[in-house]
Chain A
Amino acid sequence: MSIKLKGFYGGMQLEGHKTESLTRPLQQASLPDFLILPLKQHIGEANRSLVERGEHVLRGQLIADSSSSISAPIHAPSSGIVRNIEIRPVPHPSGHSDTCIVIDLDGKDESIQQQVVNLDSLTASESIELIRRAGVVGLGGAVFPTSAKLLRASENGIDTLIINGAECEPYITCDDILMRTYSDEIIRGTGYLQRIFNPVCTLIAIEDDKPEAIEAIRQALESQALTQTELVIIPTIYPSGGEKQLVKNLTGKEVPQGQFAFDIGLLCLNIATCVAITRAFEQGESLISRIVTVSGNGIAQPGNWETRLGTPVDHLIRLAGGYRVDQHDSQHLVMGGPMMGFSLSSDCVPIVKASNNILVMQQPTIPMTPGYHDECIRCGNCAEVCPAQLLPQQLYWQARAKDYHRSEEYKLFECIECGCCSAVCPSQIPLVQYYRAAKSEIRASKQALFKSDQSRVRFEFREKRLLLKKQTDEERRRLKREALQKNRLQNKAADSTVDPVQAALARVRAKKQARSSNPKNTTELSTVQQQQIEEADERRRVARLERR
């Protein structure tokens, strides 16, 4: 069988710059003196540290976890002593800082006892739980917790499993070298996924600019004979490796807006994720390292290194021969590819699960000068390359005018920020930057709206409650008045026999006793009061649900 490619809209051909980092085989990065492990290295809930300052940890030991279902725990990538848990700069587009566990390594790289499970006895949900415990996330760059994805996929059922080895961004070769080096593990991982999901067919997609990787995968496939599995070679057009574009190209289907591939019976996983799954299954090994490409015109010896997570970027730069200072002495660091990566504020930040590439560019070769750009002339080049089939120039005008209502109407949130529009813009407008800003402002205003809605609901509820209290108080007072009146009448009748002072004291004593024995005052409620309490409880419950 051979599938026919359906193609996808837009995209562009870019200079690959892949050969620079492929001149040498995959190397093992040496251990640095210390590791920096941000508590949040995935999309979803942040982890909580499980270790304390001064604690000795071993390689593979769980050091941070979360109870949320959309999360991935973190394990110590090597043995050593926890130096501190502190706020440090982390690799992030906004350049912000976050809580990190810093481990001083002892250099012994001692491992915990790895538990290897009997794979045949595992159920699908046990397998997925095993992947979650190993801290596996999507290593293609999105770092979505793999277990969460697999869980949703197993609920929906999968008919096509797609293994993504496209790697379409320039400079990045970590997936290429992974396919050349660990092709068997990729195929075995594919086999495990097939066992969990039982898909009708499996497609392994690789761009045609990676002949060695294609050959390695082909041989591995032949030797392991997976059923209904096909190697698909796709043309090198950026962004062919984007999940939505790959799905369209291979199956002709489109992922509906606001949904995911698993909602339409497709499961798309990166090849590096596949290897992480294999290692979790076969060796009980958690995700503690990844392959990182170091490339660009500002680095002396570009290449690929299998790097422990938490390794500071400057350590990796040293392994790659340091910065090239022959022509220009200032470098620009980018984490990720040149199309979708982000600038690093310094080389002291660590390698995290998302770090596929460190791009070192000599400063003057960065083409974008911030500040001045020409005006949009509506040429429409951007719309021609937009793989989401948007109208980028209209979105740009809307973003500039802060007409966010329109932005959403023109589907701003379908933008995958691939950068094609910016790359072809004759006026060199940093379009994606405008979209990112607009998106975050829309998100912020939605958050604010949500909060104000919530406060309004709370306020209204409080008003209602106070009114109700007033009513019940009045009711109680009325009842009391009536009772007193009745009492007075009875007392008047009994007046002659009882000393009023003694009677009053007796009443006070009785009252005190009643209060001490029954402080909560909830036993003798009228049915009306009981009903009101139940209604209030119900309202609270509904409000709680809505907040969720």
Chain B
Amino acid sequence: MKLSTYNFLTSKSIRGVKVGYPLKLVVSKQDEVEAEFNPTFIERLLPKLEWSTVYLSAEVVGLQEDIPKEFSDDIVSNQDVLQKLHHLLLEVDILEGQLECPETGRVFPIKDGIPNMLLNEDEV
């Protein structure tokens, strides 16, 4: 699971859960893959991401030094930060770990790089 994907995930569909975001991410095994850097792609992706969750995920994988805590328009013109965002969002690969619903504590395991978001019939 890439951290760009993580940015989109919620547990809102659990019955009774209002926001379900951001999910608490726990990493037990991660990897790095190489992806081609495309600054425009990152630039255009940014408005679709929740910045506080981008920062949160940077903290989880220990890259918080690379990312400004608050979003500002300067980021898009800063090649260096874009490069670091590219690395954080598209190259860090969470292989094992879990996601946890902030409201119910329901755990979604991550196995072989795939988060299992599937709920049982009686949970929805």
A and B: interacting chains = no
